[in-house]
Amino acid sequence: MSKSGLFKSSIGRKFAMALSALFLMIFLLQHLVINITAIISPDTFNELSHFMGTNPLVQFLAQPILIFAVVFHFVMGMYLEVKNKAARPVSYNKFNGGANSSWMSRNMAISGLVILAFLVLHFIDFWFPEINTKYIVGDMSGMHNGEFRYYEELLHKFANPARVIAYIVAFILLALHLMHGFGSAFQSMGQNNKYIDGLKKFGVIYSVAVPLGFIIIAIVLYVTTLN
Amino acid sequence: MTKIDSKIPSGALKDKWTTHKNNINLVNPANKRLIDVIVVGTGLAGGSAAATLAELGYNVKAFAFQDSPRRAHSIAAQGGINAAKNYQGDGDSIYRLFYDTVKGGDYRSREANVYRLAEVSANIIDQCVAQGVPFARDYGGLLDNRSFGGVLVSRTFYAKGQTGQQLLLGAYSALNRQIGRGKVKMYNRHEMMDVVVVDGKARGIIARDLVTGKVERHSAHAVVIGTGGYGNVFFLSTNAMGSNGSAAWKVHKKGAYFANPCFTQIHPTCIPVAGELQAKLTLMSESLRNDGRIWVPKNLDDVKAIRAGQLKPTQIAEENRDYYLERRYPAFGNLVPRDVASRAAKERCDAGYGVNQTGQAVYLDFASAIERYGKETAHVQGLNENDQALVTKLGKEVIANKYGNLFQMYEKIVDENPYETPMMIFPAVHYTMGGIWVDYNLMTTIPGLYAIGEANFSDHGANRLGASALMQGLADGYFVLPYTIGDYLAHDIRTGPISTDHPAFAEAEKEVVERLDHLINNNGTKSVDSFHRKLGLIMWNKCGMARNREGLLEAISEIKALRDEFWKEIKVPGGRNEFNEELAKAGRVADYLELGELFAKDALLREESCGGHFREESQSEEGEAKRDDENFKYVSMWEYTGNPADAILHKEDLVYENIELKTRSYK
Amino acid sequence: MNLKLKIWRQQNSNDKGKIVDYNITGISGDMSFLEMLDVLNEDLIEKNDTPVSFDHDCREGICGMCSLQINGEPHGPDKGVTTCQLHMRSFKDGDTIYIEPFRAKAFPIIKDLVVDRSAFDRIQQSGAYVSVNTSGNTQDANSIPIPKEDADMAFDAATCIGCGACVAACKNSSAMLFTSAKVSQFALLPQGKVEAKKRVQDMVAQMDAEGFGNCSNTGACEAECPKGISLENIARMNRELISAKVAVKH
């Protein structure tokens, strides 16, 4: 029968989800590392941001891959969600999912959509202005009044408490998403061996630490603007 | 009386099967494509037969009343499957398996059939392993064995307490392969309603689609019945709720002789009946008797205290316990055959020593096994053998590893932890050795109609040894029927397809529909189950573990009266052309109400005690069964003439050329 | 005890179906759940009502025929049991119990609580076997020693009873646990390795074609499986499928 491609099978699609997830998790870690510098050393943050914003490899290779991964992860996730919903056309009158599985595992689509909504906000906040400045206006200097503008822009954004709260909520959802997603990705890739227990523990640490890091950064920046 | 020809090949016992295979007709592969075979029932026997026949090239139509062949009750067999592999080097051989089986069956089975069974037993294990059946293995990676009742060697292969499941799933996988290839057309949720006999030969069946209610005609060149036993005539048994004797009874009514209907196995280790509304009894594998010790208190005062809840079994001192099997049968102890163990339990309970509220239970105790294994493990691991807590813990682990699923099952049902307190057990109906009479080729007295597995009568005599049912089912299905059926079908290569337009099909269908309509339209007041329960009580009280003339005569008239009442008072809700479980059940119970009477009639005729059939009139002074070889060394074969009471008796004399008939002793 | 039952009634596959309320009295804790339904049915027959259809057979937890979503969980609230092994002592007097069929597109309803699980059969027919004929001449069973650990793992996978609780519990109606149990059993044994690559691809393709959902690793299947079939089997099947697909591409 089927000798067709990997990604035509349900398992293949989940494998692709897992691969994109892994890539995104690595990106997230890298993003966090750079952002942490914002609350330690604004200068380092500025330098790193300028490098990331102007390096052609990052801009024209990594960035498109990242965008593709995000879009793919979202589109595939939604596609699978729709298929999964269709697999049970008549739902139960009573369904006690809590008896056998965690809330986050059953609601990846919800946490995913919240994260997506956050991404839109995030793009409006940072990415669109950045792209506009660099490629529409054509200012690749990264300078403003003789200083790097990145840290200033960051502070400016986080002066608004509503935004800070929105970010915190999104990161909590991100934590929940990761809490299930991390282990799930390895399971989808067929990794269930003697390392899996350690990996799962690491997954929990990662899922809490990374979003928490972002939350702390957001709060610290907000507090900084108060002074 | 017609001459009974069991077609046993001549020659030395050990050469019979080989010679027979060499001499029977074969059908060439091209011609097999022109031949259809119907297999009714797809458990261990039917499933393996359907798969093998399809592999050989026949077109197979297989029928199962459940939603999948994987549900057949073979799946519930727990303990294991015997095979004369002698992997343990403990002196096993084909002859010894043959001998044990004939002796275990109390010399009421056919030598040649049993020898063949023992002969192919080793092939079964090879075949199953090749199919990927995950039998238990030892640390060297080789197959493990355990020991079962009535034998002195370890020849039982097992997969924890789920051997039947694994073997059935093996046969099911072979069947699936053939379904996938299109060689087997599987009809799930279909029940055989009748066999169609055209010009004296079985040429098809009438079946009912249990989902739509549609009555269908199916034709073939031969029909194989693998529909299991009729233990549910007792209502309460370890059989599945749907297990039924209807296919066997229908072919009997069409001319197949029914053999030894009274030979029923009452299994000693079942969970006792808990309440009046209980629908089903649960077996605890015989393998438990490897390690469990059966006892009741020695003193009636202790029994009273236990029933009153004032005393726990664990509080009764060793010297106040009566390990009655070890006492009565020192050589075999707790591993006596099933019939012996069951009767011994009944004897103690009748004497007032039963340990539950109803007085119908004995203890099966693992405390000493836990202690023994615990010490052994502690010794092997170099731990302190005198640390009681540690020994108990280790011992429980060993027991859990061996019987974990059974212990869990017990706890779920009874709500007591068998690791801490002895299990309570009592005998229950489990298997029927009697069944459709077949010759050496497994053909019934209707040409072209075969019966295999528990549905036939052939191999277990008056009592079946543990772990032999799986062996027989697979032997018949994989290794016997596929050969012997060719001998018959070789004459059918030019017959061409069988038409379902023959008047015999129309007539059979009409009868089936009329009976269904009658049941639906009767508009009585009593449910199917109410009749089934009543029948079960009559059977259990009068045709159960001990039978006597008076009781059997009563049973016969009571069953007849109940049958008359059934046809007057039965109430079946719903219609015929729909999914209607009550209607299906009603048909089965109607058949049991006839079969039960023949059962009692057969038991009345056999004025001897042999195997599972115990006539109170025929016992030794010590209460052991007394066989009467002079007058009853035969198979009773019943010919249907329109009423169970008028069934005509035929006899197949049993000839023992290789085994000397002895009084069975396990002392 | 007295109970209020909310049972899904549906005349046939075309009927829309609805929840119907029943009151039942005098139920003892020692009864099994299905015996409680037997009592209800006897009562319904008495009242000239139609009894509730439900699948059941062995009533000892091994045939896999019984099903039922009980208060939102397949085989009810107890773990490691089938509905026929569930006893009424798990409920309290006055409880309301929802009884619904296992729901999935791939398990169409036949009547009331009876569903058609033949999709499972078709998955198995697509490859859950070793292609060996019955000849009686296969090699001796002990000629290939199999490490006890592998044999035990294969056995654990093989204990699946095909009841469909995994599908019923899964929010996606995924049949991954069922399919992977069978794939694993054969993948772990030398006899099954020969056809392993083709088997896993064919079985997964059939599983997808039946309309089951995708696995999102919630673990509900493992938690509700009456036989405790492990999620490791799903990981193993994922591994087998991915490597088979990659290998075939070469």
Domain edges within chain C: 3-110, 117-130+145-249
Residues of B in Cβ contact (< 8 Å) with C178: none
Look up residue B590 and give its amino acid: A
Q: How many Cα neighbours within 13 Å face the side chain of C82? A: 22
Closest chain C CA to residue A103: C218
CB contact under 8 A, B240 and C58: yes
Residue B384 in 3-state DSSP?
coil
Residues whose CB falls within 8 Å of the CB of residue C64, separated by 6 or more in sequence, listed in order: B70, B71, C82, C161, C162, C163, C164
Per DSSP bridges, beta strands B201-209 and B184-187 are unpaired
Residue B361's CB: how many other CB atoms inside 10 A? 22
Q: How many domains does chain A have?
A: 1
Work out whether the CA dihedral B18, B24, B29, B35 comes out positive or negative: negative
Mean pLDDT of B613-631: 94
CB contact under 8 A, B131 and C62: no
CA distances from B162 to A79, B401, B430 (A): 41, 13, 16
C223 in Cβ contact with C79 (< 8 Å): yes
pLDDT at A145: 83
Q: Nearest CA of chain C to the CA of B354: how many Å?
A: 20
Q: Return the residue in C122, C216, C234 with the most chain A beta carbons within 10 A, the one to mutate for interface testing.
A: C216
CB contact under 8 A, C12 and B579: yes
pLDDT at B160: 85
CB contact under 8 A, C125 and B177: yes
- Both ends of chain C: CA-CA distance in Å? 65
Full strand arrangement of the beta sheet holding B648-653: B435-436, B258-259, B634-639, B648-653
What letters, b where the CB count within 10 A reaches 16 and e where it falls short, cover B584-612?
A: bbbbbbbbbbbbbbbbbbbbbebebbbbb
pLDDT at B233: 98
Average pLDDT, chain B: 95
Per DSSP bridges, beta strands B156-157 and B81-82 are antiparallel
Tokens of A198: 């350690």
Nearest to A83 among C104, C171, C214 (CB): C214
The Cα–Cα gap between C3 and C21 comes to 10
DSSP string, B6-27: -----S-GGGHHHHHHHHS---
pLDDT in tens, B205-259: 999 999 999 999 999 999 999 999 999 999 999 999 999 999 999 999 999 999 9
pLDDT at B179: 98
pLDDT at A194: 75
Q: To the nearest 10°, the Cα dihedral for B169, B486, B259, B659?
A: -90
Residue B173 burial (10 A CB sphere; 0-12, 13-18, 19+): buried
The Cα–Cα gap between B69 and C121 comes to 9
pLDDT at B2: 57
Is the pLDDT at C249 greater than 60? The verdict is no
Is the pLDDT at A4 greater than 80? The verdict is no
Q: Which of A225, A132, C62 lies closest to B165, judged by CA?
A: C62
The Cα–Cα gap between C59 and B409 comes to 11
Is the pLDDT at A205 greater than 70? The verdict is yes
- In this prediction, residue A146 has a pLDDT band, given cuts at 50, 70 and 90, of confident
The Cα–Cα gap between A224 and A213 comes to 16
Mean pLDDT of B195-214: 98
CB contact under 8 A, A11 and C98: no
Residue A113 lies in a domain: yes
Whether C and A touch, i.e. at least 3 CB pairs below 8 A, reads as yes
CB contact under 8 A, C242 and A87: no
CB contact under 8 A, C103 and A96: no
pLDDT in tens, B425-465: 999 999 999 999 999 999 999 999 999 999 999 899 999 99
pLDDT in tens, C138-154: 789 999 999 999 999 99
For B504, phi then psi, to 5°, come to -60, -35
Helices assigned H by DSSP within chain C: 33-46, 118-125, 148-158, 165-169, 176-188, 190-193, 196-209, 220-224, 232-249
pLDDT at C94: 97
Tracing tokens 């409680």 back to the chain, one arrives at: C36
The larger pLDDT score, comparing residue B649 to residue B357, is at B649
C229-248 residues touching B, CB cutoff 8 A: none
CB contact under 8 A, C173 and A183: no
Catalytic residue among B70, B96, B110, B338: B338
For B562, phi then psi, to 5°, come to -65, -35
Radius of gyration of chain B (CA): 25
The Cα–Cα gap between B295 and B362 comes to 6
Is residue C25 within 8 angstroms of chain B, CB to CB? Answer: no
Closest chain C CA to residue A193: C232
DSSP string, C93-147: TT-EEEEE----TTS-EEETTEE--HHHHHHHHTT-S------S-SPPTTSS---
CB contact under 8 A, C237 and A11: yes
Q: Nearest CA of chain C to the CA of B495: how many Å?
A: 27
Domain that holds residue A215: 6-86+106-226
Q: Return the residue in C9, C198, C218 with the most chain A beta carbons within 10 A, the one to mutate for interface testing.
A: C218
Residue A97 lies in a domain: no
Residue A72 lies in a domain: yes
Q: Return the residue in A4, A8, A10 with the most chain C beta carbons within 10 A, the one to mutate for interface testing.
A: A10
C54 in Cβ contact with C97 (< 8 Å): no
Closest chain C CA to residue A187: C235
Lowest mean pLDDT among A53-62, B278-287, C17-26: B278-287
Tracing tokens 């044994």 back to the chain, one arrives at: C189
pLDDT at B148: 84
pLDDT in tens, B470-525: 999 999 999 999 999 999 999 999 999 999 999 999 999 999 999 999 999 998 99
- In this prediction, residue A1 has a pLDDT band, given cuts at 50, 70 and 90, of very low
The Cα–Cα gap between B430 and B282 comes to 10
Q: Which residues pair with C114 in a beta bridge?
A: C111
Is the pLDDT at B19 greater than 80? The verdict is yes
pLDDT at C84: 95
Residue A58 lies in a domain: yes
Residue B70 in 3-state DSSP?
helix
pLDDT at B95: 97
The Cα–Cα gap between C130 and B169 comes to 12
C139-198 residues touching A, CB cutoff 8 A: 169, 171-174
Is residue C220 within 8 angstroms of chain A, CB to CB? Answer: yes
Instruction: Find chains touching chain A: ≥3 CB pairs under 8 Å.
Output: C
B&C contacts, CB < 8 Å: 217
CB contact under 8 A, A2 and C239: no
Q: Which residues pair with C98 in a beta bridge?
A: C6
Q: Which domains does chain B have, with CATH numbers?
A: 269-428 (no CATH), 501-633 (1.20.58.100)
C69 in Cβ contact with C83 (< 8 Å): no
Look up residue B221 and give its amino acid: H
Average pLDDT, chain C: 95
Look up residue B266 and give its amino acid: I
The Cα–Cα gap between B340 and B286 comes to 13
Q: pTM of the prediction?
A: 0.95
Tokens of B410: 């017990």
Tokens of A186: 């390895």
Is residue B293 among the annotated active site residues? no
CA distances from B247 to A218, B23, C108 (A): 77, 32, 29
pLDDT in tens, A65-103: 999 999 999 999 999 999 999 999 999 999 999 999 999
B579 in Cβ contact with B213 (< 8 Å): yes
B339 in Cβ contact with B430 (< 8 Å): no
CB contact under 8 A, C231 and A187: yes
Whether B and A touch, i.e. at least 3 CB pairs below 8 A, reads as no
pLDDT in tens, B340-388: 999 999 999 999 999 998 899 999 999 999 999 999 999 999 999 999 9
CATH architecture, domain defined by C3-110: Roll (3.10)
DSSP string, chain A: -----GGGSHHHHHHHHHHHHHHHHHHHHHHHHHHHHHHH-HHHHHHHHHHHHH-HHIIIIIHHHHHHHHHHHHHHHHHHHHHHHHT-SS--SS--GGGTS-HHHHTHHHHHHHHHHHHHHHIIIIIHHHHIIIIII---S-EETTEESHHHHHHHHTT-HHHHHHHHHHHHHHHHHHHHHHHHHHHHTT--STTHHHHHHHHHHHHHHHHHHHHHHHHHHHHHHH-
The Cα–Cα gap between B137 and B667 comes to 33
Q: Which of A217, A214, A128, A120 lies closest to A175, judged by CA?
A: A214
Residues of C in Cβ contact (< 8 Å) with A90: 103
Helix orientation angle between C232-249 and C176-188, rounded to the nearest 10 degrees: 70
CATH number for the domain that contains residue A70:
1.20.1300
Is residue C42 within 8 angstroms of chain B, CB to CB? Answer: yes
Residues of C in Cβ contact (< 8 Å) with B130: 130, 132, 138-139, 141, 191
Is residue C201 within 8 angstroms of chain A, CB to CB? Answer: yes
Mean pLDDT of A104-123: 95
Residue A180 lies in a domain: yes
CATH architecture, domain defined by C117-130+145-249: Orthogonal Bundle (1.10)
Residue A95 lies in a domain: no
Distance of CA C170 to the CA centre of its chain: 11
- In this prediction, residue A2 has a pLDDT band, given cuts at 50, 70 and 90, of very low
